[in-house]
Each structure stands twice: as C-alpha cells, then as structure tokens.
Amino acid sequence: MIKQHFSPIIWAIIGLHLVWAAGLWYEPSTSGVTGLATIVRMAGGTAAAELVLLVASITAAIGLLLLHGSARVWSVIPQQILLVLSASGAVHAMINASFADGTLRPRWFLVVDQMPLTLIAVTHVVVVVRLAIFLTNPR
C-alpha cells in the first residue's frame, strides 16, 4: 500500500512553487512569466508573491508529512488556489495570443506552450479531491 504522504503531483508543485519564489527573489523580472504574473498581481507585488508561494509550499509539505484526515486536505488548498491563478493566466495568454509580458505569438504557439500549466492545475484538483475522499472516508 502506498503511504498517505506519497502524492507526487503535490510534491512536484511544492518544488515548482519554491523555484518560483526563488526566481522572484533572485530575478524580479520573473514576475512577467505567464505562470507567475497573475499570482504577483493578485498578491500585490513580487515580495508578497514570494511569501505566498513559500507559505503555500511549507503548508502543503507539513500537511503531507504531519497532518491527518481533513487537515491534510486543507493544507494543500493554498497550493490549489495558486495553481488555478496560474492556469487562469495561461488561459488568458492563450485567448489573447500574448504572453503576460506582452510578447505576441500565434495563438496555437501559446496553446502548446501554456497547456501543461493548465493540465497540471486540473490534475492537482483531481488529486486533491481523491485525497479528500480517501482521507475523510476511511474503510
């Protein structure tokens, strides 16, 4: 049986969000990256976005390692919110045929480029729902 704290997509997103926070810290121009731009805008700036990304990552990791039941599920909700914000920015870029920094590209270029971020957000939702069902309805 797989241990309950083994959720590869959640661990991968913890890593992604930590890399994004580090990127914002070391190179503020990364705030124009399509996956980050919406988070930075909603957080109110680069420093706030760094903090939000760090807190979401730490909360998810603590939840997977130390919490049980519905508390574990709630611990990954901030991560999910950030992914939905990122995916919304990706969808916006696809519709407008322009990256968050204003660079214009053909629409299908953007669809191909940004679809992974959108699919990761959808996959994460499925994992969180399954985790909620598994953890709150023990057999």
pLDDT, tens only, 29-68: 999 999 999 999 999 999 999 999 999 999 999 998 998 8
Q: What is the mean pLDDT of the chain?
A: 92
Nearest-angstrom CA–CA distance, 54 and 61: 11
- Tens of pLDDT, residue by residue over 76-88, are 999 999 999 999 9
Decide if 102 is inside a domain.
Answer: yes
Asked if 75 and 68 count as a contact pair (C-beta separation under 8 A), the reply is no
Q: How far from chain centre, in Å, is Cα 30?
A: 16
Decide if 3 is inside a domain.
Answer: no
102: left (phi over 0), alpha (psi -120 to 50) or beta: left
Decide if 34 is inside a domain.
Answer: yes
Counted domains in the chain = 1
Determine the structural domain holding residue 115 and report its residue range: 8-136
Decide if 2 is inside a domain.
Answer: no
Using 50, 70 and 90 to split pLDDT, how confident is the model at 2? very low
Whether this model's pTM surpasses 0.85: yes
What dihedral do alpha carbons 128, 65, 55, 24 form, nearest 10°? -90
Q: Which residue has the tokens 């953007």?
A: 110
Amino acid at 86: S
